[in-house]
Structure 1
Amino acid sequence: MEDREIMSFKDENGNKVDFEAVARIYLEEQEYLILSPLDGKEEDAFIFRVDRLEDKEELNLVEDDKEFEAVKKEYKKLLY
């Protein structure tokens, strides 16, 4: 059985939301993480850019359309 990487975050109401890491994508030395909610309410996945600040990692939601499409395209290459 393969290990699943589960991450927990708080939503805007302070409720805990669990996500599964679906994939790590690397584009031009930048790391991205694709997360899918575990609650089953949404089928969407979210793309986060992994920014390194000193000794910590910070996940930032990718909102730029061009950046989002580039990561999505690279992810599709992994699937096929």
Structure 2
Amino acid sequence: MDELFENITLTDEEGNDVEFEVITKLDIEGAEYFIVAPVEDNGEDALALKVVVDEAGEEYFATVEDDEEFNMVNEAFEALYEEGLIE
């Protein structure tokens, strides 16, 4: 995903469209990750999404489920935040 979005719309488990603000994009170990937060403050935390490519070459977002991978993304995000590179 070469372009960086300001907002994206994702569909939740119940089929509802939810708009998210893209906080930042991270490139880690050859993979792309996006940190997003709901535009409407409904008590949800930010999400880490990984860009995945399917067999047809189509890109889509997948939530980061693996604890080790999530910790790696979280550490990279926190380092950028602490350096003041993202808000």
- Tell me the TM-score range normalised by the shorter chain: 0.7 to 0.9
Letter matched to residue 26 of structure 2 = I
Q: Deviations over 1:3-47 (max 9, x none)?
A: x61111222222111001111111111111111011101251000
In 1, Cα distance between the equivalents of 2:57 and 2:6? 21
Letter matched to residue 19 of structure 1 = F
Matches within 5 A, 1:1-80: 5-53=6-54, 54-79=56-81, 80=83
Runs of 4+ in 1 over 2 A off after TM superposition: 52-56
Higher strand share: 1
- Given the two structures, how large is their TM-score scaled by the length of structure 1? 0.85
Letter matched to residue 49 of structure 1 = K
- Given the two structures, how large is their TM-score scaled by the length of structure 2? 0.79
Residue segments in structure 2 that go unaligned for 5+ positions in a row = none
Aligned residues: 78
How high is the sequence identity, in percent, across the aligned residues?
A: 34
Residue segments in structure 1 that go unaligned for 5+ positions in a row = none
Letter matched to residue 18 of structure 1 = E
Q: CA RMSD in A?
A: 1.8
